[in-house]
Structure formats: C-alpha cells, structure tokens
Structure 1
Amino acid sequence: MSARFNSAEPARALVPVSIRHAEAIVNAGLVRLLADCPHVRLVEASEDAAVILTDYADAMARLSAARPEVARLVIVSQREREWEVRAAMMAGVDGYLPQRCDADELHHAMRALAQGRRYFNKELLERAMAHLGDSALTVRESQVLGLLATGCCNKRIALTLDIGVGTVKTHIKSLLGKLGARARTHAVVLATQRGMLADLLS
C-alpha cells in the first residue's frame, strides 16, 4: 500500500520521500542534501513514498495520469517561467522549488510537507501570482497576441482569423488592458517576459 500522510501521527514522524528526478546529477544532489534532513527518510520506490521529488515533465505526467498519484508531488526544476509554475499549481502539484535552491530551503519545504502543507519557492510564487489576470485572455485574444508577436498588422490579423478589422482592434484594446500594456509592442514585450508566447509561437 502506498504511504500516506496521517494526521494522527506525531509531528516528529519521518516522511517517506522518493527522489525520481530525470537528471541523474540532480537526483544525486537531492539525495545528498536530504540525507541529514530531520523530517524525512529516503525510500527507493515511489510506491512507498508519501512525497515524490521529481522534474517538471514527470510531475505533470503523473498529475494527468488516468490513475492519479497517491503521493504528494514536489517539482524541482530549472523551468521558472510564470505560466509553467501556474500550470503546475493548477494541475495540483504540492510544491515547486527552483533547481538552484539550497539545502535550507529544501529542508524547509520538507518540514512544510511533513506538517501537511504545500510549499512553493517565494520568488516563483510571487511572480506566478503577480499576473493572474493574464490567464483571463480569451482564446481569440491569445490568437491575436500571437499574431502581434509575429509583426502582423490589424488587416493581416483580420484576414488570418477571418474577422473584421474593428473586431481585431477590440481584441487588442482588451488584451492591452489585461496585460497592463501601453501599446502593441509593449504587450508583446510583457508577454515575452512572462513566458506567455512560448506555446502560442511553437
């Protein structure tokens, strides 16, 4: 049976943690950093773990699997763009740490999880939460934003999306407001900085 958190357990109970990161060097580093962590005991099999430390791709795959993961998932990754962190949070991940985190933060995260809480790196969380309005862009506004990023004029956008030029202007006005942008080029700059164009231009 997979390990689970039990609120009836004493606070000092060690949490079984499995490290499943795809990068061998990161995996080894996490093992070393957690070797003397007072809140956890390392286990080999993910089936025996209450917490799994893993990479972004593996965590997202586990969260979207037909049979959801029983263990709580913590991402350790170099992927720090706002939309990636938000996507992981919305998918239900229990923690998110930058790959550059130190032992103190890693131990702090494990302590939080041992207490039944979630843990997100403060810097990543603040950036991810700062522009939640970005996610309110409609599908059409996102399409217009992507075309703006490629340098399309209003007429070209209208032809591409088979809508009127007036409708294009309405969408641009709306997305400028949501992004807090002063002009079209500013909107593209902000969207690029926030990682919003990664999927739109892929």
Structure 2
Amino acid sequence: MTGVPGPAPAPLTVLLVDDEPLVRAGLRAVLEAQPDITVVGEAADGAAVIPLVRRLRPDVVAMDVRMPLMDGIEATRAVLRTVPAPPKIVVVTTFENDAYVYGALRAGADGFLLKRARPAEIVHALRAVAAGDSLLFPSAVRELAAAHAQEPGSAEAREALRRAALTDREGQVLRLMARGLSNAEIATHLTVGTETVKSHVSAVLSKLGARDRTQAVIAAYESGFVSPG
C-alpha cells in the first residue's frame, strides 16, 4: 500500500536588514534560489525592524551591524526586549573581529556571518541557526572577548557571576562550554550522561540570565571566570 505523503514543511522565512541595496539584493538572490527558504521582507535600517518582525514573523533576521539611524546592536536589543517569541538574529558583517559584532552578540544575537561568505555557507548558516545550532566557533568568541570585552574581570562582572551561585559542576560545564565542547563531548570529559550535561547547561543559562550558550560564554570571559588567553 502506497502511503500518502504528508504536507511539505513550511519554508524558512528570513527578513533582510541592511542599508546597502546591493547587499540585500545579493542575499535575496542567494536565499531565494533555495526551495525551502523565503525572504519575507527587507529593511534599510534597524529602526524599521520591530514593526516588520511583528507583522511578518520571520524565523531569522539577517541583520547588518553598521546602519545610519539605528545600528544592529540596538535593533537586536529592541527585538529581543519587545517581541514575544523573537526570531533568531544573525549579524551580517564585513569584519569578524568588529566591536559592533561583539556588541550585537552581547545584546543577544545568535551568531554572525561574513558578507564575503560563499552562498552555500550563507544558506547553511541560516538553516543552522533556525534549527537552534550555534554559528560561533570557540576561537571566534575568545578573540572577540580578548579584543572587546569591557574590563574583563571587573568587579561588576565578577559580582554578577557570584550572584549566579554556580555549583562546582556547573562551573566545570561552563569552562568546557567556553572551550567549545558539545554536550556529548562534555559528557565524555566528565564521565556523565548527556542528559545530565543538558540539565547542567540549562541551569547555567538560567542562573546567568543568558539567552544561549554564546551569551553564557561571553559572561564567563567578561567576569574573568575564563581567560581569553
């Protein structure tokens, strides 16, 4: 008996935000060549992002960081602060070691993507972040933290980590997260089950008030709990 195929999965929807029309046109062409991706809208400035996100409900926002009226840092912060169930936000940048990129990641962006990336890399990155995967290699976070962390090990950052009251095991997990280990690799390192690691990671994120692993790792660097070196 031949089964009846189910409905096709909904396409991945993307909002493009960049003040350069050529960049938006190039990204649109790359993305709309994929059968499972739909560009639902465009904006030339961060100030237009919130109403568009509310109306279009994209899965992912590809956000430039350097824009004239409202930059990508403030736009990211505003979306995450005001929009229920906000989309994933990928920073699109010319320079990977840019203070703007670090600021956007601190504000809650889910990762960054270089404008010079190959089309296949762009497509893979947006699919990955929509699925909940990280776009950041540990070395990239370390380099950004080393170059742009505001007063690493400052009293304020140390106090925030102290208030989080991580257990010894949660501290171990955070250090291994900062090294870029996956949950499975952390489980092997600590000789525990993967589900146990997932519980520890969730506890770390909750105690630090971090949206994701990237923000938790940034907090670890800025408090001096982990050294960029």
Q: Which TM class, normalised by the smaller chain length?
A: 0.5 to 0.7
Kindly tell me: are residues 179 and 65 of structure 1, through their superposed partners in 2, closer, same or farther at Cα, counting changes over 3 Å?
closer
Percent sequence identity over matched residues?
Answer: 28
Residue 59 (1) aligns with residue 56 (2):
no
1:1-202 matches, within 5 Å, as: 12-44=9-41, 45-46=52-53, 47-48=55-56, 49-57=58-66, 58-65=71-78, 67-69=81-83, 70-120=86-136, 124-125=140-141, 127-128=143-144, 135-136=151-152, 138=154
Quick check: 1:20–1:27 contact (8 Å CA) kept in 2? Answer: yes
What TM-score do the two structures reach when normalised by structure 2?
0.47
User: Can you list the C-alpha shifts for 1:146-197, whole angstroms capped at 9, x where unaligned?
Assistant: xxxxxxxxxxxxxxxxxxxxxxxxxxxxxxxx898xxxxxxxxxxxxxxxxx
Quick check: 2:73–2:100 contact (8 Å CA) kept in 1? Answer: no
Structure 1 gap segments, 5+ residues each: 1-9, 140-177, 181-202
Moved more, 82-91 or 127-136: 127-136
Question: 2:13 is paired with a residue of what secondary structure?
Answer: strand
TM-aligned CA deviation for residue 13 of structure 1: 3.4
Moved more, 53-62 or 113-122: 113-122
What TM-score do the two structures reach when normalised by structure 1?
0.53
Cα RMSD over matched residues?
A: 3.4
Question: 2:26 is paired with a residue of what secondary structure?
Answer: helix
Could you tell me how far apart the structure 1 residues matched to 2:23 and 2:145 are? 27
Q: How many residue pairs end up in the alignment? A: 133
Quick check: 2:88–2:130 contact (8 Å CA) kept in 1? Answer: no
Could you tell me how far apart the structure 2 residues matched to 1:109 and 1:122 are? 16
